[in-house]
Amino acid sequence: MNLSLRTFTLSALTTLALITLTPTAKAEQVAAAPSALQSSAANRRLQPFNLAQLAYQGYFKNQGTPGYQSLLLAYQLGRLQPEDVVNSAVQSKLLDKAALTDRAYLQAVDQQLTTLIDER
């Protein structure tokens, strides 16, 4: 009887250890995901919502795209177009150049910038 209790305890502890370690490994993969912003643009497509948010947060300041209220004001005054924001993402290697001629993508970025203005 002692042997079966030991076997059960060992099995239970092994199962518990596996369950506990698996989410940790997944969490490490998720934590590494932000570095994927620097990976090859050909491997993914930055969603228009995320692009607008990055622009608003000043992520493209080094490419000449203003951030925060300056971004929204420039957009409202017509000094900034969706193409400008997309071009900044292309320069940052977050998007492929093909996005600059993708009318549907540019319209979606335009809509996201408009939504940012409406929410502020």
pLDDT at 120: 82
Angle, CA of 50, 44 and 60, to the nearest 5°: 40
pTM of the entire structure? 0.65
pLDDT digits (tens, 9 = 90+) for 55-112: 999 999 999 999 999 999 999 999 999 999 999 999 999 999 999 999 999 999 999 9
> 71: which residues sit within 8 A by CB, 6+ positions away?
55, 56, 58, 65, 80, 113, 116
pLDDT digits (tens, 9 = 90+) for 26-51: 444 443 344 444 445 444 689 999 99
State the DSSP code for 80: S
Half-sphere exposure of 22 (CA within 13 A, CB side): 6
In one letter, which amino acid is 31?
Answer: A
In one letter, which amino acid is 88?
Answer: S
Cβ–Cβ < 8 Å for 86, 52: no
